[in-house]
């Protein structure tokens, strides 16, 4: 609210002159809000001269010019908007923090999976080491052809003497002996020592050759 004083004209006849003078004063002043009232007509009722947001009251030899400011309302609106913005920012921050937390959680999940995977691989490596070295799997490197019994100088392909195919275990990669119990992958027909593939799929759950998911009962 802004109040300021202006000398009142002595007679009512001078009122028009005064109003004109007052309009000019308002235009010249810094009261931009009040200046807008120049677009409307002055209204004199109940002894109060008013125009837009300006009221003029008589008081002895002075008149009080009272400019109703809209600033108060504006301030309230601004404060409300600021509060809303703060609320919005808080919500956004919450969402961002939640997103970061979830992202971290999924990273943790990935780490756990990776660790589990690497632990599995270690077990598998141990198992394949045992298998390869035949420590407790009872497998020895085949040095003679399972078909003709001639000594072999190579570790796969075909026997140079009888021409029979030298099948290798898909798990331990050793040539399969003639008395070894074997089994086949139903998808790729990869041959393996039965105990080897059983141990392998127990850990890895898939065929070492074609990578298809493999269950114990699927082996042929």
CB 135 within 8 A of CB 172: no
**For the chain, what's the residue count?**
220
- Shortest CB 143 distance to Zn ion, Å: 12
Other CB atoms within a 10 A radius of the CB of residue 43 amount to 12
Q: Which is nearer to Zn ion, 6 or 210 (CB)?
A: 210
Q: Which is nearer to Zn ion, 106 or 133 (CB)?
A: 133
- Shortest CB 161 distance to Zn ion, Å: 5
- Shortest CB 136 distance to Zn ion, Å: 13
- Shortest CB 203 distance to Zn ion, Å: 14
Q: Which is nearer to Zn ion, 23 or 144 (CB)?
A: 144
- Shortest CB 117 distance to Zn ion, Å: 20
Q: Which is nearer to Zn ion, 67 or 172 (CB)?
A: 172
List residues near Zn ion by CB under 5 A. Answer: 145, 147-148, 159, 161-162, 169, 171-172, 185, 187-188, 190, 193, 196, 207, 209-210
Q: Which is nearer to Zn ion, 50 or 180 (CB)?
A: 180
């Amino acid at each position: 609210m802004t109040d300021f004083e202006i000398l009142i004209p002595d007679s009512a006849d001078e009122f028009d002159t005064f109003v004109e003078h007052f309009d000019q004063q308002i235009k010249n002043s810094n009261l931009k809000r009040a200046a807008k009232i120049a677009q409307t007509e002055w209204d004199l009722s109940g002894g109060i001269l008013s125009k837009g947001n300006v009221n003029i009251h008589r008081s002895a030899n002075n008149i009080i010019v009272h400019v109703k400011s809209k600033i108060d309302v504006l301030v309230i609106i601004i404060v409300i908007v600021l509060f809303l913005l703060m609320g919005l920012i808080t919500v956004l921050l919450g969402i961002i923090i939640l997103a970061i937390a979830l992202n971290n959680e999924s990273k943790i999940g990935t780490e756990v999976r990776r660790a589990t995977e690497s632990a599995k691989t270690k077990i598998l490596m141990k198992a394949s080491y045992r298998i390869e070295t035949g420590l407790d799997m009872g497998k020895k490197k085949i040095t003679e052809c399972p078909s003709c019994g001639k000594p072999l100088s190579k570790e796969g392909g075909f026997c140079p003497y009888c021409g029979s195919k030298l099948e290798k275990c898909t798990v331990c990669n050793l040539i399969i002996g003639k008395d070894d119990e074997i089994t086949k992958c139903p998808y790729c027909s990869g041959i393996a020592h039965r105990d080897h593939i059983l141990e392998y799929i127990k850990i890895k759950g898939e065929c070492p050759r074609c990578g298809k998911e493999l269950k114990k009962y699927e082996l042929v």
